[in-house]
Structures are given as structure tokens and as C-alpha cells.
Structure 1
């Protein structure tokens, strides 16, 4: 990753100003924009306050609630979107009964106090029918994240998300890591940690454990190396 992408800010000042304009009145004075990051004054938001803020956010701002902090998730670029379509096609080919649902909001972390916005959630077709913006993780077979070139990727996707998804007992966490050109598979959640972690370089078969039980052909991913 080049220095300029590693230092890319969470959001633009224009997006921050629009977020403040749309935010519930009681939260507006608590939001700050420092060093390219969204900050909250006077202590963290509780999960109910976060949900109000996330519901009011403009389409260009994707908010998550991880470890009690409001996080801004990067907007996907073209390669990110192509990788997501690749995963959808692979899943349909091997498991026609499953779907990869994009931009899925899930209740993650211990006691479901986190609110993660996954790049994808793999579940049986029809699973999310009737759900609201934030779904319980029961029935989600895998959470999917595709790394973005912003400075919070390492902490968010490689540190915080594995813990949050394991605590929520999601059987598999699939990380498509564009910095190391590898598919990383986390499985067997127990006591808030995934017990198994396997890494597959792009171009090699990536074996997905139960309850997915199929192998990804990752050759195409080499076309999307940055």
C-alpha cells in the first residue's frame, strides 16, 4: 500500500458537514471532525444514539459501531465492487441455496452491543426477509469483508472485526485482503475468538469450512491486484 492510500482520511469535510446537518439535534454538538476522523465529544454514544445517527447519515457516509466507538467505513472502489461480484458468482456456482447479501448491518460483539456493516453476509436465500437495518447474527453463515485502502483497515478488518464476529458466533469470517493479495478464512468461533485461521494467496484454491463447505477459485482475483 502506498503512503497516500494508507493515510486516506475516513471521510471528507463535506460529508461530515452533511452528517451534522442531518443528525438528530441532540447529537449535532457532540460531533467533531479532527485529522480526517469523525470524533464524538462528551463520552461515547450508546447503541441507541448510534442507530439514530446511522439512520440519518447521507448515502456517502457508512457508519459502524465497534468497541463502543463510531467508525466510518470507506466507500468501495471499482476493484472492491468487482471482487464482491466475483464472490457472489462463486457462491451461486457452488451453493445455489445461498446468497451473498451486500451492505448487511449486523448486531456484532458480545451481547450484540456492536453494529457492524459487513461488505457481505452469506446466508440461505430469503434469510433477511422482514429484517430491519440491523439483523441478529442467527442464520448468518459467514461475514465478508474486502479491505479498502484507508488508514483504519488494519485495525478495523484485521483486529476488531474478527473479535466482533467471533463474539457473535458467526461461523466463518471471510477476509479478502487486498494488501497481501490473499483470502483469509477465520473459523470455529469460541470464547470470542476464531480458533482457526487459514490464508490462501490469490490464484490458489481457498477452502471454506462448514457450514459453507466449498472451495473458492481465486484465480480471477489476480486481475484486481492494486
Structure 2
């Protein structure tokens, strides 16, 4: 989740007043997704549906945040399962749950990533990762684990430069993750199948 030291902006669904969007018979989640899809493209803001009711816009991430994402890319890139790749700016959408999230980093089959849409379903996502910023701790620690567990994504890696540690959530049951392992920066944290590596966290940069 990018740094939002500036005020986080939320766009209420009622702000997009199109005739088809305002239909009283339309599904609320479908209307919100339509508004999300109709937003103009921008590299300055990241748009997500985190609570099922609002579209949350987060500003451009800090340089430190970006460096930590690059560290993750370099560490995991050589160990990606065959036929997969990583992505750093694509929405994972859960229509039934009314959620749409844009992880800092995730791994999925290349065939799935070669989509003409701005989003993919969560079904084949192998791992998601977020890098915590001072203003995103509640979202990354409380909202995102629930969203990713409901999406049945096997692994959620949370890099927290604020606390100086990394946490791996695993074994989702459709409601929550069944296991949680935390290591301070400098230690190694094991990623199970299909990665099978000991991730060296010593290269991550903490917030001073």
C-alpha cells in the first residue's frame, strides 16, 4: 500500500451520477465496480474498494516505499514458479465480496496477467505482498489480511518498514489466515511451495 502522508481521499459512489449507475435495481457492488472502471487512468493515484462502500484513492508512494518494492522484486524474481510472473500495478477483484485491491506486488500465471482488463480474479494468484507506510498500517494489517484470506490467496507477505519486520500469513480458510510468522529485518523468512526459498529480509529499508 503506498505512502499516504498526505490526506487519503475517498470517492463515494453517489459522486458518479450516471443514469445506469443510479438504477435502484442494480447490485450495489456492481455499481461501485462500474464507477471504479469509469475512473480516468492515472499513475498518480491507486484506486481500491476496501470496505465495499467507497473507492479509496491513495497518492503516489514515497521513494523509500518504492525501493522496498524493488528489493522484493529482486529477491523473488529469480525464484518464480515456471509460467508465472510478478505484477506491481494491477487490481485483484472479488466481485462477490465487493472488493477490489491493488497490491504492491503479487505473483500469478503469465497467461492471466496478459489481460486487456485493468483487473484479474484472485483464483490463480499465488502470493500477494504489501509494503506498509505510516498511513497505511490499519489497511495493511487489518483490512488486507481479511480480504486476501476471503480470496483464498495462499500467501500474504507483509513488509513493515515502520516496525522493521516481515510477516507471512498462510493457510487461508475463506475467512482468515490460519498461520502467521513474523521475523525482524535481518532474519530469513521461509516461503513454502511453490517458491521454496528463505527470503533474506536484511535488504529491506526501515523507516528511521
TM-score by length of 2: 0.80
**Superposition deviation, residue 49 in structure 1:** 2.8
1:129 to 81, 104, 114: 114
> Equivalent of 2:93, from 96, 107, 114?
107
The answer for the alignment partner of 1:10 in structure 2 is 8
The residue aligned with 2:188 is: 205
Q: Which has the higher helix share?
A: 1
**One of 160, 163, 187 as aligned partner of 2:170:** 187
SS at match of 1:143: strand
Contact residue 47 and residue 65 of structure 1 kept, 8 A: no
* Contact 2:188–2:199 under 8 Å retained in 1: yes
Work out the CA distance in 2 between the residues paired with 1:165 and 1:89. Answer: 23
Match of 1:36 in 2: none
User: Residues of 2 paired with 1:6 and 1:119: CA distance?
Assistant: 14
Whether the 8 Å contact between 1:83 and 1:221 is mirrored in structure 2 is: yes
Structure possessing the higher relative contact order (Cα contacts under 8 Å, 6 or more residues apart): 2
Check 1:164–1:132 CA distance in 2 against 1; reply closer, same or farther (3 A cut).
Answer: same
- SS of the residue corresponding to residue 91 of structure 2 reads strand
Distance 2:203 2:5 in 1: 28
Indicate the SS of the match to 2:73: helix
| Mapped partners of 1:104, 1:6: distance in 2 | 19
Q: What is the distance in 1 between the residues matched to 2:201 and 2:150?
A: 28
Figure out how many residues of one structure are paired with residues of the other and give that number.
194
- Alignment RMSD (CA, Å): 2.8
- Structure 2, unmatched stretches of 5+, are none
Distance in structure 2 (CA, Å) of the matches to 1:88 and 1:165: 20
Aligned equivalent of 2:36, options 54, 77, 88: 54
Indicate if the aligned counterparts of 2:166 and 2:183 stay in contact, CA closer than 8 A: yes
List per-residue Cα deviations over 1:81-133 (Å, max 9, x = no partner): 11111111111233363422002201238x34211111111123443112521
TM-score by length of 1: 0.74
SS at 1:51 equivalent: helix
Residue in 1 that maps onto 2:60: 75
| 1:140 has 2:125 as partner | yes
Return the alpha-carbon distance in structure 1 between the equivalents of residues 202 and 70 of structure 2: 14
1:148–1:178: 8 Å Cα contact kept in structure 2?
yes
| 1:53 Cα offset (Å) | 2.9
Counterpart secondary structure, 2:141: helix
Which runs of 5 or more residues in structure 1 are unaligned? 31-44
